[in-house]
Amino acid sequence: MTDSLALFLDFDGTLVDIAPRPDQVVVPPELPGALARLRARLGGALAIVTGRPIATIDGFLAPERFDVGGLHGVEMRRGSDVAGCEPAAHPALRAGVVALAHAVADLDAVLIEDKGCSVAVHWRLATPTDAGRAQDAIERLAADLGPAYRLQRGKAVAEILPATATKGHAIRSFQQEAPYAGRRAVFFGDDLTDEKAFVTVNADGGVSVRIGGGATVAQRRLLQPEDVRELLLRWADGAPIDPGALPLA
């Protein structure tokens, strides 16, 4: 079974619990090592697929270093092969980030996360009024940027990124080459941003796993990141890897 599966894992809300601010997530100390052991069992076919930059994932999962589809696939690292983000290739977006910062500067608890080739606005701790103003600001910027970019919504966050960047695209890109090629994709995710990837994985005959409640197109479900970590730890330490045995969504 281990040589027939390729495992793809979202980060926030899947491997780690959601935090009030993106830089405040807590990575359990046993997680990086468990992921490394599980990667070895899978012959290397394990990757993190996330909206975070690759460098941020490296910081959280140090000292281990994993294949990563970062910024929803804008950045890709497979082994030593890296395709990075080039902010200079996005002059309209860069100018828009400056305008967005001015638009929300007076809003308490609204955070702009500038990722170079994308930008996200977080309002998890904001008042409803300030959250509404933050959403209006990023929606206006997305409209001004036009079809080369898209607005992606998540849990108390919205992000503008290149229109061609999706987690489903990143997963398919990984599966074009070893060690992922020819294997059945298994993707764990928790957010609206993961639903499109579930559609892709389902269409390709893989297994999609939703973390948390709510409507989903995923086939299977776990309730919280702690459940994911416990499952991955068991798999890392030799338990049978059978995603089809997980609870139905």
CA–CA dist 41, 180 (Å, integer): 13
Structure tokens given for 92: 């309209």
- Residue 220's nearest CA partner among 230, 206, 237 is 206
Helix (H) or strand (E) holding 194: helix 192-203
Helix (H) or strand (E) holding 210: strand 207-211
Instruction: Identify whether 10 is a catalytic site residue.
Output: yes
**Catalytic-role residue among 3, 10, 130, 190:** 10
Q: 3-state DSSP call for residue 121?
A: strand
Q: 3-state DSSP call for residue 16?
A: strand
CA–CA dist 106, 205 (Å, integer): 48
Contact 120, 72 (CB under 8 A): no
CA–CA dist 139, 146 (Å, integer): 11
**β-pairing, 81-83 with 75-78?**
antiparallel
Catalytic residues: 10
